[in-house]
């Protein structure tokens, strides 16, 4: 049954990218925050469809820690879920992603319209510069920035090497950095197409004070907080 329900979900998700692309393109001329809210409607649909088809829901813990003013969210990365569903409960976002995603027909074109921070992961120095330069622009627009410091999806129960981009951007933009921890990989694994039913736990942390810390120390503090949630 998990297999059939997962296939049905992917079919619906795939078909929904066509109207998503059209709506996204029409929203391009709008102000960045409004555009983000409109395009996030696709994420609302996909999150609902995920619950209907696969029985996978989520619970947001400590949502009161989400700041109303722009910040940098630093989130662990285990599956596709956090790339989609975080848009449904976080303020208007620009998130960091690999530029190859923009080449996917329909989905990538709609994704481009959201004006994300698309980086070249093959060139680490250029990628870091892109995160900071473009991130400062997105924050100036009044949007929050979502970064996955691990850079790629990591198997549930494990942790990748955390990069310093989130801390460097928050420092230069003089905004808060807010950690997010979740256990999405327990249900929607990077190593399997099949989606298990359940409830993903997603915890929003308090702002981390990086004053007096080096970039490496602050990054380690984010990693330690996420690991301490023991989800």
Residue range of the domain that includes 13:
2-228
Model confidence over 144-201: pLDDT tens digits?
999 999 989 999 999 999 999 999 999 999 999 999 999 999 999 988 899 999 999 9
pLDDT at 108: 77
Give the total number of structural domains in the chain.
Answer: 1
Q: Tell me how far apart the alpha carbons of residues 28 and 113 are, in angstroms, rounded to a whole number.
A: 6
Q: Tell me how far apart the alpha carbons of residues 128 and 124 are, in angstroms, rounded to a whole number.
A: 6
Q: Pick from 185, 187, 224, 180: which is nearest to 204 by CA?
A: 180
Q: Tell me how far apart the alpha carbons of residues 199 and 197 are, in angstroms, rounded to a whole number.
A: 7
Model confidence over 29-48: pLDDT tens digits?
999 889 899 989 999 999 99
pLDDT at 127: 77
pLDDT at 136: 95
Model confidence over 90-144: pLDDT tens digits?
999 998 888 887 888 877 777 788 888 888 777 677 778 888 999 999 999 999 9
CATH number of the domain that residue 164 is part of: 3.40.1130.10
pTM of the model: 0.92
In DSSP terms, which residues pair with 199 in a beta bridge? 57
pLDDT at 77: 96
Helix then strand then coil, in percent of the chain rounded to 5, is: 50, 15, 35
Model confidence over 199-222: pLDDT tens digits?
999 999 999 989 899 999 999 999
Q: Tell me how far apart the alpha carbons of residues 120 and 193 are, in angstroms, rounded to a whole number.
A: 26
In DSSP terms, which residues pair with 58 in a beta bridge? 200
Burial 62-83 (b: 16+ CB within 10 A, else e): eeeebeeebbbbbbbbbbbbbb
Report whether 163 contacts 148 (CB < 8 A). no
Neighbour tally for 162: CB within 10 Å: 22
């Amino acid at each position: 049954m998990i297999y059939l329900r997962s296939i049905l979900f992917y079919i619906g998700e795939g078909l929904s990218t066509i109207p998503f692309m059209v709506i996204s393109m029409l929203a391009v001329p709008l102000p960045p925050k409004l555009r983000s809210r409109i395009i996030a409607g696709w994420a609302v649909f996909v999150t609902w469809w995920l619950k209907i088809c696969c029985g996978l829901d989520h619970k947001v813990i400590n949502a009161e820690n989400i700041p109303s003013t722009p910040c940098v969210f630093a989130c662990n990365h285990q599956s596709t879920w956090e790339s989609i569903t975080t848009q449904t409960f976080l303020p208007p976002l620009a998130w960091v992603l690999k530029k190859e995603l923009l080449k996917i027909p329909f989905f990538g074109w709609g994704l481009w319209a959201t004006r994300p921070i698309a980086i070249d992961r093959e060139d680490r120095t250029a990628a870091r510069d892109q995160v900071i330069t473009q991130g400062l622009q997105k924050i100036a627009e009044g949007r929050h920035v979502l970064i996955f410091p691990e850079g790629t999806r990591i198997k549930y129960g494990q942790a990748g090497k955390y990069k310093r981009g989130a801390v460097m951007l928050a420092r230069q933009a003089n905004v808060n950095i807010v950690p997010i921890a979740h256990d999405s990989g327990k249900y929607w694994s990077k190593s399997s197409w099949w989606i298990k039913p359940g409830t993903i736990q997603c915890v929003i942390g308090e702002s981390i004070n990086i004053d007096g810390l080096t970039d490496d120390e602050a990054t380690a503090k984010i990693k330690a907080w996420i690991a301490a949630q023991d989800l």
